[in-house]
Chains A and B, each alone.
Chain A
Amino acid sequence: MECKTIEDLLSPYLEDELTQEERQSMEEHLRSCQSCAELLSFMEEARVSLATLPELEISEDLTKKLYDLPQKKKKFSLVFDFLLRPSLQPVMAAATVLLVVVSFYMFHPNRSAIDRALERQLHIGYSKVEKLYAEAESITHSLNEYKDNLLVSIKKLKPFRGNEDNQSKT
């Protein structure tokens, strides 16, 4: 057997998993190869060292933290569930759009140009509203004129005038 093969068989040898023939040829090699024999001895030493490593106790602080974990998780999931309710989705979508628009405005390199454009648009909008208001006033005025004319015309009609004649006779 070669040393490389022996290396692969060290654990099976220590754990008694080799066949009788494998074991015999391995022991034969170990008797003549000091390096492999030493490696086997150190492997056994490492194995024993690990097997006798004591189990550490956990700190009270960690135990407390572990017990608190489900409550933390519950609080977190309650908030999360509330935020993910379907009824809140339109609000969330609107908030997202608003946030995008505000971010776009806040971080735009040419913010003053946006300010100017917004001011211009506001001015145009204000002028349009003023114009509409003036038009509405003129329409109201015309309607009042029509109403007065109509009333005058109605009063001039015969049946209404007749009453007036009778009253004047008596």
Chain B
Amino acid sequence: MLVNAYSKRVFNLAYQFAGSYEEAEDLTQDIFLKLYNSITKYDFEKNFTAWLLTLARNHLIDQYRKTKWEKKSRDEFDEHYLSAGINSSPEESVLSQESKKIVWEGFKYLSSEIRMAVILRDIQGKKYEEIAEIMELPLGTVKSRVNRGRLQLAKILKEKKEKGNGM
């Protein structure tokens, strides 16, 4: 069943991209509606997950352009991730929690295409080739976008941590 197999993945992608839990729920429903409407167009020789993620990516970026989420703030990091067992490891330092928080909030400064590339690579753990297929872009462009996104996040992390340390 499609819902069982893919809803969690689609929802998490939507949440990581949009940063708002409610928005992500609405977006997940929109994506599944689109999936039901265009399932007849699916080419059985292609990878279904990649096809679904392409559909999700197109919808998320379209909505982003229409609503301009970058102007909105993202949910507080602790709001949902704290209850999801992020503190499960006692060894995990307060510092790494802080980094996660900064990076999560830092996503709002990334453009839609760069944000999507970083999410697919670093959170979802996709290979560059898969991301190129999902985003319908050349491999080199994907690699360059991922690097630019990481660089932006690294700079944000550096700035916030230096401020935090009073440097």
A interface residues, Cβ below 8 angstroms from B: 7-8, 10-12, 38-40, 42-43, 45-59, 62-63, 65-67, 69-70, 73
A54 in contact with B81 (CB, 8 Å): yes
Question: How many residues of B are counted as interface, with CB atoms below 8 angstroms from the partner's CB atoms?
Answer: 42
State A59–B3 Cα separation when bound (angstroms): 13
A56 in contact with B151 (CB, 8 Å): no
Give 8 CB contacts A-B under 8 Å. Answer: A42-B161, A43-B153, A46-B99, A49-B103, A56-B11, A62-B25, A65-B29, A73-B37
Kindly identify which residue among A42, A46, A56, A69 contacts B12, using a CB–CB cutoff of 8 Å. A56
B103 in contact with A46 (CB, 8 Å): yes
B84 in contact with A57 (CB, 8 Å): yes
Q: Is B80 an interface residue (CB 8 A)?
A: yes
Q: B105 to nearest A CB, angstroms?
A: 11
The segment from B42-50, B54-62, B64-72, B142-150 found at the interface with A is: B142-150
A50 in contact with B3 (CB, 8 Å): no
Q: In this complex, what residue of A is CB-closest to B159?
A: A42
Kindly identify which residue among A39, A43, A55 contacts B8, using a CB–CB cutoff of 8 Å. A55
In the bound complex, residues from chain B placing their C-beta under 8 Å from that of A8 are 144, 147
Q: Would you list the 10 A-B pairs with minimal beta carbon distance, nearest first?
A: A50-B122, A43-B154, A42-B154, A11-B147, A46-B153, A54-B84, A49-B100, A49-B99, A42-B157, A49-B103
In the bound complex, residues from chain A placing their C-beta under 8 Å from that of B146 are 11
Q: A70 to nearest B CB, angstroms?
A: 6
Kindly identify which residue among A38, A52, A58 contacts B11, using a CB–CB cutoff of 8 Å. A58
In the bound complex, residues from chain B placing their C-beta under 8 Å from that of A56 are 8, 11-12, 15, 80-81, 84
Kindly identify which residue among A10, A46, A69 contacts B36, using a CB–CB cutoff of 8 Å. A69
With A11-B150, A56-B12, A58-B8 as contacts: A50 and B118 at CB distance below 8 Å: yes
B153 in contact with A57 (CB, 8 Å): no
